[in-house]
Structure 1
Amino acid sequence: MIREPAHENRGWLWAAAGAIAAAGVAMYAPTLSVPFVFDDRLSIAENPTLRQLWPPGVALSPPRGQGITVEGRPFLNYSLALNYAISGLNPWSYHACNIVIHVGAGLALLGILRRAFRFAGNTITPGEKLAAYAAGGAHTNVRAGTANLLAFVVALLWTVHPLQTESVAYVIQRAESLVGLFFLLTLYCFVRGAEVGNTKQSEAIGGYPRVPAFAKPPAGKPWSLGPWSFGLRRTPAGVWLALSIASCLLGMATKEIMYSAPLVVLLYDRALVAGSLAEAWRRRRRYYTALAATWLLLAALVFATGNRGGTAGFGVGVTPWTYASSQFQAVVHYLWLCFWPHPLIFDYGVQWPQGLGEVLPYAVIVGALMIASVYCLIKRPALGLLGFWFFSILAPTSSFLP
């Protein structure tokens, strides 16, 4: 059985999770009556593959060649088929599902942050922090109460932030919210697996785990998946890491920005668990091999849809450079909205920069942030992780690709 560390206040944890869930539901409950708009019509109302759940091959084969949001995204399409089975073309169940997805992502974020905040800093090795935390010790750089409070505040603000409205209220933007949930679950399940492995399956010398959770654990039978087992075992650590891989696989079948999830997990491991890329690979090479294998599904889906040219927007009639130059202002604008979310506009229309003078100030800001991210990846891995996570998610659609 997987247990919370001895020093955890489970009552506080349930209260925090309940508060986040209640706030998310209260925030977005009014969207239950919002009708289908814009791309909802093509991806839902006029999508024949949503009409039946069985055999699943139909709902897992969204229409191709039409440039609609569900194209090449089978799990996104199947989730919409589930809603169609519940309420047909009545939008209430679609919105309810979007709210559940968003709240689930907020809870996963809480679980990640309350551990990450405890491991911040460099006074002891990351492995010692994780082993001590999971064993109920005090070898963490931030007190449990402070870390929990910080995690709760950040997760709550993220859940109710007005900038999230589009991904919840606009049904087909489930592509964003659902892949976000799987992204966070991939990381959360990894953290839990590493945490359990460091206490249940390690010989600790001075608190530092010497045996990786994924390499020859002392107990547990291997999964009966033949060559696809990647060395997973039926142990608590193995279960969590298998759930991480499953979440990553589902994310790859939801939206392409999931491509960076294996890299984010590896960088998290380096910054807050293993202490280096080499050590992370040494401890969990089988896990990372399995995680990287999920790229094969993504590659197959992208290839099958002709590199997603229609849905990506290659038909808008602009050069890659023109599109890229418009993204500098867009990125800076949305960063500003994170801190001051007003005014919020649902559809900005098409706005192309008219000259270098309109682009340069924003390009300098974005360039400085990118340079800072690279520097931090080298010198301050935890901060660098945040920068990499941010830019890697933006890269597919906020660079040269429309």
Structure 2
Amino acid sequence: MVSEAGTELHTEEYNWAGNLRYAAAEIREPRTVPELQELVSGASRLRALGSRHSFNRIADTEGVLVSLEHLAPAIDVDPESLTVTVSGGVRYGTLTAELQRQGFALHNLASLPHISVAGAVATATHGSGDRNGNLATAVAGLEIVTADGGILTFRRGDADFDGMVVNLGALGVVSSLTLDIEPAFTVAQTVFEDLSWDQVLENFDDVTSAAYSVSLFTNWSGDRIAQAWLKSRAAADANAEPQGTAFFGGTPATEARHPIPGVSGSTCTQQLGVPGPWSDRLAHFRMEFTPSKGDELQSEYLVPRKHAVDAIRAMRRLSHLVSPLLLVSEIRTMAADSLWLSPNYRTDSIGLHLTWRQDQPAVEAVLPVIEAELAPFAARPHWGKLFDGDASRVAPLYPRFADFKALAGRLDPEGKFRNGFLDTKVFGS
């Protein structure tokens, strides 16, 4: 359906996993920035909708949902400044293919290339690597449509820039982003199986520094870790274990693996130590497939690196509650940053990611137990995934939380971009 303003209009939509139906009266899909500005200025309540890969109601509203999927997918590379500017609806898979074609790269990617750049940045979605900041740390500038329909432009170094980037959609609708890029590079990905928990925990720093990016997959039970995925950047990982050697009790896989037991590895990016473009290795999954859609829920907690081993041991103590509900869990690392609402704000972190079976009541019942167990380690929940804590528990974890609320009050004094999620988890009302 097309509205009188020329924008696509839908009246019923679900999120990626199908675990929630958006409450919006309508979903609009503007094709130009002026159309977007008109929609924003004319709405009383409005939220931006990315690739729908959030498992809670962070993107929901009872007003108008705006999807930027049909904005012209501009990808403008500036080789001199080593930046790329993209429109608000561009997905990482589209962006990475074009950057690779032109000989450039991003520093990091999330597991899925299907997600939108703006949505991933707004929620501090992260990727992996001891020395790698999350995806939002690549943002050098952004253009945002504010509540009155005007456009504000911010650049790294501007006042409040670090509060604008991870914005939870509370400040406006991001119409474009400028990201840092670098020359394209080569990555080889090797999977090791059946690692020893004891060896990994005794040598945790050596494990996570063994490659440019390292992921551990487990269900938290037993004395073995199912898989370790090592993404080694050519000529950059001096400590990387070559394929064919043992890795902390694990042995190299002889065929492509999927993180979830029993699922074919054919949907995953190239493994077996075969070198190839960063764009085909840093993500776990291939763009031409849609892994696990509708079959999972997700939660994640980001824990300061200094508490990594203790937090992992705490999760293992909960295996009797957690493991029966899991498809798989992933442990990753990420570097500290200066973004106010980033879970990595001023601390190197580990991510304890939980991919749940589609049983939301059972999952929601165990989340308070997990959060209580991780509370001594100042665990910060991922903004786009299922978690229990409200603003009273989340706010103390972020030194600039009050500053972000004040920034939202200045840019959106009438609360146009507020919703139930933000009222509960951020603004505390």
Q: TM-score range by the shorter chain?
A: under 0.3
Question: What TM-score, normalized to structure 2?
Answer: 0.25
Question: What TM-score, normalized to structure 1?
Answer: 0.26
More helix by share: 1
